[in-house]
Amino acid sequence: MNIPNLITVLRVLLIPFFILLFYLPYSWSYVASSSVFAFAAATDWLDGYLARRLEQSTPFGAFLDPVADKLMVAVALVLLVQEHHNVWLTLPAAVIIGREIVISALREWMAELGARAQVAVSNMGKWKTAAQMLALIILLANPSDFSFWVLVGYALLLVAAGLTLWSMLQYLRAAWPHLKTTSTK
């Protein structure tokens, strides 16, 4: 266990506090839950930076880091879908969560074939993550009433969902030669 891994574990441990703050019946709970989410998003960058800088990358960290990210994002999307209950948030949330399931399964399957590098994280994923995190921070910080900031959050989430679909197609295209081969049993 090293500093980057402890930071990643902290991100997972923040999830119950994030949920609790979201459901508190106070006007400040929006900003509080958004702040915890923003802090967790920042620790995602920090743990990766420290792991590289201090040369403390570990198999445990390589496993837990994407899991922590996906848990935080999925929890935030589920909370927001429940709160906003409209197609402008539900559709991109379904796309984002669905893509994560598809790509995680694809990466696992490709790893079994020894071809995991063909479905490695791309630069487009960084743009998607930036749009997604900013959208979630904005949406968590505001009540579900239509306002300028909520519309900005929806727009950014739609951009993130579009980039999510595009990157999923790129991953599937890279994996397609392995997917279309037939067994010779």
Q: What token pair was written down for 135?
A: 């959208």
Q: In 3-state terms, what secondary structure has residue 76?
A: helix
Q: Residue 180's pLDDT is what? A: 73
Q: What is the pLDDT of residues 110-163, one digit of tens each?
A: 777 766 555 556 677 788 889 999 999 999 999 999 899 999 999 999 999 999
What angle, 0 to 180 degrees and rounded to 10, lies between the N-to-C axes of helices 87-112 and 59-84? 160
**Which residues, including other chains, have CB under 8 Å from residue 24's CB and lie 6 or more apart?**
32
Q: Residue 171's pLDDT is what? A: 81
Give residue 61's Cα distance to chain centre. Answer: 16
**Which residues, including other chains, have CB under 8 Å from residue 119's CB and lie 6 or more apart?**
103, 106, 107, 110, 171, 174, 175
**Which residues, including other chains, have CB under 8 Å from residue 20's CB and lie 6 or more apart?**
none
What angle, 0 to 180 degrees and rounded to 10, lies between the N-to-C axes of helices 3-23 and 59-84? 10
Q: What token pair was written down for 139?
A: 């949406």
Give the Cα separation of 113 and 101 in Å (integer): 19
Q: What is the pLDDT of residues 28-72, one digit of tens each?
A: 999 999 999 999 999 988 988 888 898 888 888 888 988 999 999
Q: Residue 115's pLDDT is what? A: 60
Q: What is the pLDDT of residues 60-108, one digit of tens each?
A: 888 898 899 999 999 999 999 999 999 999 999 999 999 989 888 887 8
Q: Residue 8's pLDDT is what? A: 93
For 3-182, CATH gives 1.20.120.1760
Contact 86/69 with Cβ under 8 angstroms? Answer: no
Give the Cα separation of 68 and 81 in Å (integer): 20
Is pLDDT above 60 for 184? Answer: no
Give the Cα separation of 74 and 111 in Å (integer): 24
Residue 183 burial (CB count, 10 A): 4
Rounded to two decimals, the pTM is 0.88
What one-letter code names the amino acid at 118?
Q
Give residue 1's Cα distance to chain centre. Answer: 24
